[in-house]
Structure 1
């Protein structure tokens, strides 16, 4: 086994695993934030102190997910079902990364597939933080809406699950962790091939 590893050129190893290595500190900080949110205070979901450049990545992805979330309410609202309209924001946060993952896999963009799973993991954490606030409804809502507009507060109240908000959020964080781990190990299962044109005179 050691001999086989020694035969692998370092350039090939780096090319295959560099993105996984780069993702690790981002994943660690996001999971640490999730721990503080669930263990200590919901406001760490908006006030957690990320170092640079993780703070920039968090700003971009969080705001992009917020746009997707609000668009989901509009899209699912067309169906005319109140529960789906409320749930649509969170569903849309999950659906878009899944579509991207499918597109990347079909087209064999494996580095982008890793990003797709990372994006999906971030979406799960975003939803988890919202769900964790269902009972207390402390987080500020977009447009200065009142607590009666809290998506997960309304959903869990409808389903008589409000007392389990933290446990439900922890399950969502676990789903996010699974997506993050998938993003890290994708190079074990896929590899990118280079197309070579051979001009042979026979």
Structure 2
């Protein structure tokens, strides 16, 4: 509902009216914040549980960083994706791109799921989980970037990067070849920051989609009764 200046209504009432009339939203707001209708078949209660799990995992990552149990658990799931990325990006014929491909694929794969859920089916909650996974992968990659100079982390070979041949430690090789090795700490800090902020925003995005389902769509269309 458009704002009418002469109407003496509290600000919160005007905001609720605006939220309740999504057709009045700007197109870009609809793109990011207007989900499709949700019915019984979409398991609203399950989504609420998943939202709390996503929020809990985010807090665990904030508190423990890469060493948190959730980061370590997801690292084992992300590792096959990482190794697949090396194979996929090998087609470009560049050793640097091949090395970078593992970390890139960790980000690209969740983004594919995110856009697949977001663009056409408008499942914003599902998209928020997929995007959260992409940002979590930044937390998974950041320690590897930070280790590019000291090379103390254990690699899948069973030894540290310092013990392996040149090129085996992806980020030591990438940053050495691009002349950025001495900036590994600042690059890692930036990646950490983007990852943490992104994870938190994804929790808020997912929460918004469920609040919108429950408060506005249920009220207007009788859903979730």
Instruction: Please list, as runs of the form range in 1=range in 2, the aligned pairs for 1:27-46 lying within 5 A after superposition.
Output: 27-34=58-65, 45=66
Query: Which consecutive residues of structure 2, in runs of 5 or more, have no partner in the other structure?
Result: 1-11, 17-43
Corresponding residue of 1:115: 129
Report the TM-score, using the length of structure 1 for normalisation: 0.72
Determine helix, strand or coil for the equivalent of 2:157: helix
Contact 1:101 1:117 in 2 (8 A): yes
Aligned with residue 54 of structure 2, among 6, 23, 26? 23
Partner Cα distance (2:165, 2:56) in 1: 35
Aligned with residue 81 of structure 2, among 36, 53, 68? 68
Determine helix, strand or coil for the equivalent of 1:78: helix
Partner Cα distance (1:156, 1:25) in 2: 34
Query: Which consecutive residues of structure 1, in runs of 5 or more, have no partner in the other structure?
Result: 6-13, 35-44, 197-202
Contact 1:117 1:182 in 2 (8 A): no
Determine helix, strand or coil for the equivalent of 1:144: coil
Pairwise CA RMSD: 2.9
Contact 1:134 1:150 in 2 (8 A): yes
Counterpart check, 1:129 vs 2:148: no
Shift of 1:17: 6.1
Contact 1:19 1:111 in 2 (8 A): no
Shift of 1:110: 2.3
Aligned with residue 188 of structure 1, among 194, 205, 208? 208
Partner Cα distance (1:155, 1:172) in 2: 15
Equivalenced residues, count:
170
Report the TM-score, using the length of structure 2 for normalisation: 0.65
